[in-house]
Structure 1
């Protein structure tokens, strides 16, 4: 029979009451210390979370203020769109304006126009969408747009720089205007409306605004208030 080994004494238990009291007190102190350490750790974690919330609030508010500042700046510094009252179709008082008499029939194919660029005449049944174009556009469609009250501004691409084009665009309303290059012009810039035309010396010619005032959306054209969108685009449409 295998002998039973003697039991090991419990180091936390003492037969001496005074010693046992000290052991018990030490265990309570350790538990209290552990409790305090856990409490301190919890308080540190809580403070950390609070700091994170404050940081995110600060970041969020700063971001919102930045967005508001950008919106305000964009409104403040964006140029206001140019507008003109609808013209009365009479620009005869503008120096250099020529006026003509043209027919207004819808036809197929190309048309030989008496003016360059054309200011009216027979034209395609589909109008050209009013916009800025980087390439020449079909005469027959552009003339139909003139019939609706649009103004067609053509320029000699060899005589007009990018800065000149920006200067022109800054003077234009957002609709009922066509801007495009045109081959064979005898002036740097030529403005055409239905049965009216003006040759300009350059992009800083003050008569540009005068012509737009007289002929933009004129009510004397064959089809006043006709649309200038929703039909056909020419090549090189930009806007």
Structure 2
């Protein structure tokens, strides 16, 4: 018997599903490329460098150049290497604003949407687990732009929170990388590429570690 409930997925759920499918496809291509590199190493001992170059350059099964998330190029991305990941007590003086990795509190922040600033040290712990962190300067954005950002963010492994004093209206940060942008409407392509490349990335120090069961900041939207 119909109960009046609309079971059709929401636009946000459909977007998240497409995003998951895209990430899964890219990771599958990356695994295929790794197998190709192994084949290339073995082949090199038999047939020489020419065969190695052919195998490495092309995917064996399709004859197409290999692709993986790391191959995505995004204009404006800032990257940081050699970041430490120690658990510390108290505040941390980060080298970038907003933080995109470094020493952090031993307890992670529960992922989700927040209407108040969250502690940097707990949010950075989320980045260590493969989450991404969307920040916005309330003085530079409208309520509509904030709502669009909250709707755009993945339902899992993502934090959205205000961050005063940014040099760009909005940022999206992952461990060792971040992208400044104006809003998700005008910059959807580049922000989507960033999410595809860095969301739940295996390059984070502890990918797949929890993004729940930690601590909540103020103003968390249930």
Report the TM-score when normalising by structure 1. Answer: 0.67
Q: Which residue of 2 aligns with 1:235?
A: 218
Question: Residues 1-239 of structure 1 correspond to what in structure 2 (within 5 A)?
Answer: 67=3, 70-71=4-5, 74-76=6-8, 78-79=10-11, 81=13, 82-83=16-17, 84=19, 85=23, 90=70, 93-101=73-81, 102-204=83-185, 205-206=187-188, 207-239=190-222
- Please give the alpha-carbon distance, in whole angstroms, between the structure 2 residues aligned to 1:134 and 1:156: 12
Q: Judging changes above 3 Å, is the alpha-carbon distance between structure 1 residues 91 and 174 closer, same or farther for their aligned structure 2 residues? A: farther
Q: Which runs of 5+ in 2 are unaligned?
A: 28-67
CA apart distance, 1:158:
1.6
1:211-232 deviations in Å (ceiling 9; x for gaps):
1111100011111111000010
SS of alignment partner, residue 144 of structure 1 = helix
Q: Is the 8 A contact 1:89 1:220 kept in 2?
A: no
1:6-61 deviations in Å (ceiling 9; x for gaps):
xxxxxxxxxxxxxxxxxxxxxxxxxxxxxxxxxxxxxxxxxxxxxxxxxxxxxxxx
Q: Is the 8 A contact 1:104 1:120 kept in 2?
A: yes
**Structure of larger gyration radius:** 1
SS of alignment partner, residue 96 of structure 1 = coil
The alignment yields a C-alpha RMSD, in angstroms, of 1.9
SS of alignment partner, residue 220 of structure 1 = coil
Q: Is the 8 A contact 2:129 2:206 kept in 1?
A: yes
Q: Which runs of 5+ in 1 are unaligned?
A: 1-63
Q: Which residue of 1 aligns with 2:31?
A: none
CA apart distance, 1:77:
6.7
Q: Judging changes above 3 Å, is the alpha-carbon distance between structure 1 residues 133 and 89 closer, same or farther for their aligned structure 2 residues? A: farther
Q: Judging changes above 3 Å, is the alpha-carbon distance between structure 1 residues 217 and 77 closer, same or farther for their aligned structure 2 residues? A: closer
Q: Is the 8 A contact 1:103 1:121 kept in 2?
A: yes
CA apart distance, 1:147:
0.1
